Every structure is written in structure tokens, then in C-alpha cells.
Amino acid sequence: MIEFKMPSLGADMEAGTLVEWLVKPGNPVKRGDIIAVVDTQKGLIDIEVFDEGTISELVIKENEKVPVGTVMALIASGKEEGIKKEVIKPAKKVEEKIAMEKIVAAKAPHFIKASPLAKRIAAEKGIELNTIHGTGEDGAITKDDVEKAIVEKMAPKEEKKIATAENIRMAVAAAMSKSNREIPHYYLETKVDMSKALSWLAGANKQRSVKQRLLPVVLLIKAVAKALTELPDLNGYWENGLHQKQDINIGFVVSLRTGGVMIPAIHNADKKTVDELMTSLNDIIPRARAMKLRSSELSESTFTVTSLGEGNVETVYGVIYPPQVALAGFGSIIEQPWAESGMLDVRPVLTITLSADHRASDGATGSRFLMAVKNHLQKPEAL
Amino acid sequence: MTEPEIKQIIFQLLKKIAPDTEPEKLEPEDDIRHTLEIDSFDALQFVVALDEQFGIETPEEDYGKITTLKDLVNYIMQNKK
Amino acid sequence: MSENNIIKLTYREALKRGIREALQKDEKVFLMGEDVGRYGGAFAVSKGLLQEFGPERIMDVPLSESGFVGAGIGAALNGMRPIVEIMTVNFSLLAMDQIVNNAATLLHMSGGQINVPVVIRISCGIGRQLAAQHSHSWEPLYAHIPGLKVLSAGTHEDARGMLLTALQNRDPVIIFEYTFLLNKEEEISANAGAVDITKAKVRREGRDVSIITYGAGVYKALDAAKELIATGIDAEVIDLRVLRPLDEVTIFNSVKKTHRVLLVEEAWGSVNVSSEVSARIMENVFYELDAPVQRLGGVEVPIPYPKHLEDASIPQNADIVKKVKKMLQHD
């Protein structure tokens, strides 16, 4: 039996409140399925499952608040039952129970018990039946259940969203305090001539429709991701020692108009093209602002990028998001005098900073990272 | 389409992108992005919405021509189909 | 007597008034059946009519269902409007050949030349411990047969008025009357008369569940609905009235309104009227259903003699209440 636990959606999260189960016992699940909605300080988060199997039991109830790591549900996976059976042969009761589970699992596939009318209304209103709790005979979903679900969907979540603006402030406060308390930061800074990158971008955007146009920030994200492939010590977590991460998931800081920030992850940013990165941003920025992110997007970033390129801020000295070990900050691209090969010129200049955890890496590593980013930005066509 | 109508649509689009602002209070000479604190991402969404709404195609080099409300309205009047 | 006058009378009296009015209105109408004359009818429905209308029009017949039903059909073919009474539905099987092979079929066999305007009244259902010889509910047997119009008089209003309309019909009509109801008193309009015989009737409007029934089930369902409203369940009661051909419109409209259906009848559960209604609901308004269609029918045994077993063999008010509550139960 696989235990599905309350996930940690960041170092600052201690507990979460289950708002809604989106599955019922007997429902099959696979990796990536959203099975629950959890209320955290960062708003309502869709929680994904990482295993394949059949929901065997929902251990905690809706509206229950439990600490991170608490078992929320049990998931039966076909394989496991076979193994268990061999090991615990003498215990007859256990065997029977397993046999029962098997029957449940075999009976379950995809069928949700709902009345024809309930199904019709749900389809018309675009509500997934597996998000509705059935209260009819034998747990069947009836018209009343669907109508209740429609009403619930409309009303209460809006209120919750408003309430979380303050919570987000508190979440940011907790994470940043922890960072400042525990992480010995060091800071490096360099300036990059952006004329090549910007002229490449202008050319590239001429060939794209408005909708597909690229923002300079995608070049920065891609350059950072590529640089991280060369400096793996900066891509990981510090948890009693450095744990490098295989995937390069860039957490991109999105500031909220109501205050606070959300940091959705762009998964495998090093493997995405600049167009794919732009698509990712188009997807996650609005969802981050609406506080409608998936758990993996909130919890799986391995390195953070913060860009304050909107005003006239030249330099950002960022605070690392624990348990990560580094963060890259980008200021505005500003025209500045630029000396090169004994000549003075005016160029669009960008200041890049690195904040890094001195427990995990040293200045030399950080310096190599900034040089790598700089070099990649000089060859925008290769990004 | 008259100038007030265009303005009305612009306000609606801005409101969608920055729900907590009051675009109606923009002065003709105000820099839209600065005044309403719209970042580059939202600015791009705004241009996309403008193009769709008015059937225009705004090339990147024209972004400088639409920074204030007055400029933007003029730009749309000239380019819309 | 003003139009709004209400009178209280027994089901038996309502039947008698219907017969008397029919006899008064049309000279071609006459009543024939076992003991309908001198004895006044096995259930005293025709008591006094012999004195009033004479032996030509209130005709006692020998104990031969096949013979006298055949005679009634013959009279109908020759321009008369006979009302044939069969004492109980059990004995009607002896006349099945005449009813099915002649009355129901002649119009077809004659290429549309011969109508058979006979009305056959049959007492049906349990009475007071009349046992398996006299108590069955065989409406479904007749509702199965094309060529017949099959009516069920589940209320005093219909007992009073169905016969009059049936006699206007050019083709054979079977009217089921209920022994169980004979002594029951109800109020009806003093000038009640002919009633429609094409439509089912909503006897009580409700929004939570449709109880669809007929015959002796109608008053039971209405009583059950009264009990249910006290628990917050608002049941609609539909009296089918016409078992053949079924009034689908009224049934489907009710399903569209309440989305839940309980069918109640005293006939045995297998292959009864409820089976047919249920099937048509599935075929036509499946996507309106919020719960499986449920049925309450008679227990599949010959009707027992002892009172407590007789009661147990058919659906009672309490069974209806219990079933409806289960259908509407929410965790």
C-alpha cells in the first residue's frame, strides 16, 4: 500500500488544510493526476499524486488541517499486493483483506456511480463527476449533489482567495526569515552587454505574431538553465549537506499585485527552447497571479530567478529560497557607457547578480556561473 | 469607431490585465505602464489583446508609439481596419 | 342543487349511479351478468335496478362466462350497447377466448368493417378475505392485448363516470372495478358524470418523487403521500386510469419534474403494468432520472385467505412510505 502524504510546498509550510478530495476510493490514479485541493498560506493548491494505483482509502476528511507528512490517503498498487501475499501468507485475515482490495480494484475502473440526470447536468455545467461527493443510495451522485457542487464551486473559493493575500505575506516572511537565519549568503555581480541579445530578439520577434513574441526574460532564464548544467553545485537543496538535483527546474518569481510573491517552477528549463519557455511563462504567470498552481510547480523548483527589469533598478541582491542553494537576480536593461577594446561606447547593459549559499559552494563556483551566463547571452542564436 | 469608444475598450482591456487599478483616471499624457504598474509580461498580453480587438498588428518597434493614452488612441485610430 | 354541491357516497353507490345514468340515457344500453337482477349483483352494485328498468334491461345470465360474454359481443355487433358484468376477474379467464379472439380481434379480421362496442366490467383485486378464488389482480393480462381499451377505476369519480364514456366508444372496453373499495366513502361532486378515458391523472402534485399507480393503489399512494409530506418529502401521485393504451405524456412530464419514480400496483411483480411503464421511462426519459425506477408489486403467490397474509401479499401504505424514503435517502 502506498501512503499519500501531505506534501511540503516549500520550506515555510508546516501544515495544510484539505479543502476537497477530487477522488474517491476505487478511483484509479496515475502519476500527475490532481487528486486533492489543499489550502496553504499560498492559496488553494492542486495536489498531484506520484504513483500509479487505485485509491484504497481516504484517511483524512475534507476541512481537516494536518501537518506536512501526515498520511492523507492510501493507494493500492497492483504489484504490491502480490508481494505482500507471499510474505504474509500465514496471516489469513490479511490475505482476505487483500483479496477484498483486489475485488474493489477490479470493480473500480473509471466508473463513477451517478444518476443519468446527475451526469447530464454535470456535463452541461462542465463539472467533473470525480470532484463530486455522492450522497445518494450506495454513494451515488444525484442531482442534488451536482447542484451543491455547482454552488460550492461558484461561491466560497473567491472568499478564500482574498483571505490568502495576508497569508502569502506571512509565508514569504517565514521563508525569508529562515533563509536569512540559516543560509550564509555570498553575493557576486557582473554586467553584461545586451546589444547582441536584444538585436537577435528584435529580429526573432519580427518573424513571430504578437502572441508568440518573446520577452527578454526568456533568454535570461535559458542562459541560467544552460549555465547550471555546467555548475551542478548551484542546482540543488541543502539538507544536512548538498544534494544536487538532476532536473533543472527554474523557479520564476512572480510578484502579486496584492503584495507577496509566488514562485512557480518551469520544469526542465535547460531542455526547453526559448519559444517553449515563453509558452511556459504564458501559462504559469496568470495562474500564479490567480493562485491556481499545481503542487509540483510550487515545490519542485531547484534554482530561483528573480527579475526586477520593470523599473530602473540596476541591481538585485536576492534572498535564497530555502532549501535551494542559489538565486540569480536581474536588474533593468539600461543604456550605459561601455568600454571595450580601448573604445568607449553606449550599450544596453544588464546587471546580473548571484546569491549563493556558502555552505554549498564557494566564490569560484559562483564566478564561473556568472561567466557562463554572460557567454550564453553573447550567443543568443544558440540559446 | 469613435475616440471615446476606443478609450472605453482600452480601459476594459487594462482592467482585465490589472484588475486593481483605475485606468479611467489616466491622464492623456500619463505613461500607461508606469502609472498602472504593468510589467513587461502584462504589457505583452495587453498588446495581444489590442491587436485582437482592433484587428491591428503592432510591430515591436512601434511599442514606443503607444506609451501614453493619447498616443495609443491615435495609433489605433490610424491603424485599425 | 348547485354545481358546487359535494356529496359523500360509497364506491358501490358511485358504480350504481353510473350504470343507472347509462341506462336512462340510452335505450340500447342493458346490463347482463350473473346475479345482477334478482339478487342485486354479487356485490349489490345493481340492487334495485331490476325493479327500475325491468328484466329486458337487467338480465340475469347462466353461469357460463364464455357464453354470456359471447352473447354480449353478439348484441354489440347488432347495434346494442351491452354492459357485461363478470363477477370477479378470476372467472373472466373462462371468457378469455371471447374477449381476445372475438371482441379484440373482429375489427382487424373484418378488414375494419365490424366494430364491437361492448363494455365489460370486472371486479378485481382483494376484497375481504375472498381468497385465491376471487381476489387476483389480472389487469396486466388484459393490458397486453391490442384491440382492447383497458380502464381501471381507482377513485369514486372514475367509478361514477368511466362507464358512461366507455359506452361512447366504438370498440371493446374493459373496466376494472375494485372489490376492496366498495364500502369506502368519499366525496364527489353531486353532478359528477362522464370522465375522460384517454389520460392518466395527477391525483396529487409533488416535486420529489412520482408514485405511479392505478386501481386500489391510488388511495393508498395518496395516504402514503400525506404521511411523507410530514417528513418533508413531497410526492406526486399519478393514477394511470388507462392501462391500455398508456398515456405516456402524463407519465413522462411527471418524471421530468420529479426525476424519481416508484411504481405501485397489486398485480404480481413479474411482467405487470409497472414493468411496461418502467421500460417506457427508460426508453424515453432515461436522462431525466436521478435514481433507478423502483417497483412495488404483489407477492408472487396465489392470494392467501388469512387476513394477515392477505395484507402481506400486496403493497400497503407503509411499504410505499418506506420505499420512497429509501429512494430519497441522502447520507
Q: How far apart are CA A323 and CA A235, in angstroms?
A: 11
Q: How far apart are CA A16 and CA B1, in angstroms?
A: 52
Physical contact, C and B (3 or more Cβ pairs within 8 A)? no
Q: Note whether C289 contacts A139, CB cutoff 8 Å.
A: no
Q: Which of A150, A120, A301 shows the shortest CA–CA distance to A228?
A: A301
Q: How far apart are CA C267 and CA C264, in angstroms?
A: 9
Physical contact, B and A (3 or more Cβ pairs within 8 A)? yes
Physical contact, C and A (3 or more Cβ pairs within 8 A)? yes
Q: Note whether C287 contacts A120, CB cutoff 8 Å.
A: yes
pLDDT at A85 exceeding the cut of 50: no
Residues whose CB is less than 8 angstroms from the CB of residue B74 and which lie 6 or more positions away in sequence, other chains included: none
Q: Provide the H-helix boundaries in C43-155.
A: 49-53, 65-77, 89-92, 96, 106-109, 131-134, 139-143
Q: Note whether A120 contacts C286, CB cutoff 8 Å.
A: no
Q: pLDDT tens digits, residue range A323-360?
A: 999 999 999 999 999 998 899 999 999 999 999 999 99
Catalytic residue flag (residue C185): no
pLDDT at B43 exceeding the cut of 60: yes
Catalytic residue among C65, C236, C265, C266: C65
User: Strand, coil or helix: what is C64?
Assistant: coil
Q: What is the reported pLDDT for B24? A: 84
- Is the whole-model pTM more than 0.90? no
With beta carbons less than 8 A apart as the criterion, state whether C117 and C172 touch. Answer: yes
Q: Note whether A135 contacts C331, CB cutoff 8 Å.
A: yes
pLDDT at A170 exceeding the cut of 70: yes
Residue located via cell numbers 350497447: C81
Closest CB from C290, C326, C329 relative to A115: C290
Domains A90-154 and A165-382 share a fold: no
Q: Chain A: residue nearest B61 by CA? A: A202
* Homologous superfamily assigned to A165-382: Chloramphenicol acetyltransferase-like domain (3.30.559.10)
Domain boundaries, chain A: 2-83, 90-154, 165-382
- Min Cα separation B73/chain A (Å): 19
Distances (CA, A) of A360 to A241, A291, A367, C183, C286: 8, 32, 14, 98, 66
Cα C327 → chain centroid: 27
Q: What is the reported pLDDT for C178? A: 97
Strand (E) or helix (H) holding A351 = strand A343-357
Q: What is the mean pLDDT of residues B39-59?
A: 85
Residue located via cell numbers 375489427: C107
pLDDT above 90: percentage of residues in chain A: 37
Q: How far apart are CA A330 and CA A318, in angstroms?
A: 9
Sign, CA dihedral C226-C228-C234-C236, equals: negative
pLDDT at A195 exceeding the cut of 60: yes
If you count DSSP H runs as helices and E runs as strands, how many of each does chain B have, helices first?
4, 0
- Enumerate neighbours of A (3 or more CB pairs within 8 A): B, C
User: Strand, coil or helix: what is C249?
Assistant: helix
pLDDT at A155 exceeding the cut of 70: no
pLDDT at A42 exceeding the cut of 80: no
Q: Note whether A143 contacts C259, CB cutoff 8 Å.
A: yes
Interface residue A117 vs chain C (CB under 8 A): yes
- Domains belonging to chain B, first-starting first, are 3-79 (1.10.1200.10)
Query: What is the CATH topology of the domain spanning A90-154?
Result: Dihydrolipoamide Transferase (4.10.320)
Interface residue A229 vs chain C (CB under 8 A): no
Domain boundaries, chain C: 8-189, 201-327
Q: Chain A: residue nearest B45 by CA? A: A211
Strands (E), chain B: none
Angle (CA) A351 A353 A359, round 5°: 170
pLDDT at A61 exceeding the cut of 70: yes
Determine which of A61, A115, A124 to mutate to test the interface with C (most C C-beta atoms within 10 Å): A115
Q: What is the reported pLDDT for A161? A: 47
Q: How far apart are CA C81 and CA C170, in angstroms?
A: 10
Q: Which residues does chain C have within 8 Å of residue A148's beta carbon, measured at their own beta carbons?
A: none
pLDDT at A208 exceeding the cut of 90: no
**pLDDT tens for chain C, residues 1 to 331:** 445 689 999 999 999 999 999 999 999 999 999 999 999 999 999 999 999 999 999 999 999 999 999 999 999 999 999 999 999 999 999 999 999 999 999 999 999 999 999 999 999 999 888 999 999 999 999 999 999 999 999 999 999 999 999 999 999 999 999 999 999 999 999 989 999 999 999 999 999 999 999 999 999 999 999 999 999 999 999 999 999 999 999 999 999 999 999 999 999 999 999 999 999 999 999 999 999 999 999 999 999 999 999 999 999 999 999 999 999 886 6
Q: How far apart are CA C55 and CA C62, in angstroms?
A: 14
Q: Note whether A117 contacts C287, CB cutoff 8 Å.
A: yes
Q: How far apart are CA B23 and CA A331, in angstroms?
A: 27
Distances (CA, A) of B19 to A53, A281, A283, B73: 42, 20, 19, 21
Q: What is the mean pLDDT of residues B45-63?
A: 85
**Pairing mode, if any, of strands C173-178 and C149-152?**
parallel
Q: What is the reported pLDDT for C69? A: 98
- Min Cα separation B53/chain A (Å): 13
pLDDT at A11 exceeding the cut of 80: no
Determine which of B22, B35, B44 to mutate to test the interface with A (most A C-beta atoms within 10 Å): B44
Q: Which residues does chain A have within 8 Å of residue B18's beta carbon, measured at their own beta carbons?
A: 257
With beta carbons less than 8 A apart as the criterion, state whether C144 and C135 touch. Answer: no
With beta carbons less than 8 A apart as the criterion, state whether C331 and A139 touch. Answer: yes
Q: How far apart are CA C22 and CA C232, in angstroms?
A: 44
Q: What is the mean pLDDT of residues A308-329?
A: 89
Q: What is the reported pLDDT for C1? A: 45
Cα B50 → chain centroid: 7
Q: Which residues does chain A have within 8 Å of residue B19's beta carbon, measured at their own beta carbons?
A: 257
Strand (E) or helix (H) holding A148 = helix A143-154
* Residue A13: band (very low, low, confident or very high) from pLDDT cuts 50, 70, 90: confident
Query: What is the CATH topology of the domain spanning C8-189?
Result: Rossmann fold (3.40.50)
Q: Note whether A140 contacts C329, CB cutoff 8 Å.
A: no
Q: Which of C113, C124, C115, C175 shows the shortest CA–CA distance to C147?
A: C115
| CATH number among 3.40.50.920, 3.10.129.10, 3.90.580.10, 1.10.3080.10, domain C201-327 | 3.40.50.920
Residue located via cell numbers 511563462: A281
Q: What is the mean pLDDT of residues A247-267?
A: 88
Q: Taking the CB of residue A170, how many other CB atoms lie within 10 A of it?
A: 13
- Min Cα separation B40/chain A (Å): 7
Interface residue B61 vs chain A (CB under 8 A): yes
Q: How far apart are CA C19 and CA C83, in angstroms?
A: 9
| Torsion angle (degrees, nearest 10) of CA C217, C218, C221, C223 | -120
| CATH number for the domain formed by residue range(s) A2-83 | 2.40.50.100
* Residue A164: band (very low, low, confident or very high) from pLDDT cuts 50, 70, 90: low
Q: Tell me which DSSP letter residue C303 carries.
A: P
Q: Which residues does chain B have within 8 Å of residue A255's beta carbon, measured at their own beta carbons?
A: 39
- C positions 273-302 inside 8 Å of A (CB): 286-291
Interface residue C331 vs chain A (CB under 8 A): yes
Interface residue C325 vs chain A (CB under 8 A): no
Q: Note whether C329 contacts A117, CB cutoff 8 Å.
A: no
Q: How far apart are CA A293 and CA A266, in angstroms?
A: 12
Q: How far apart are CA A88 and CA A77, in angstroms?
A: 17
Catalytic residue flag (residue C65): yes
pLDDT at A251 exceeding the cut of 70: yes
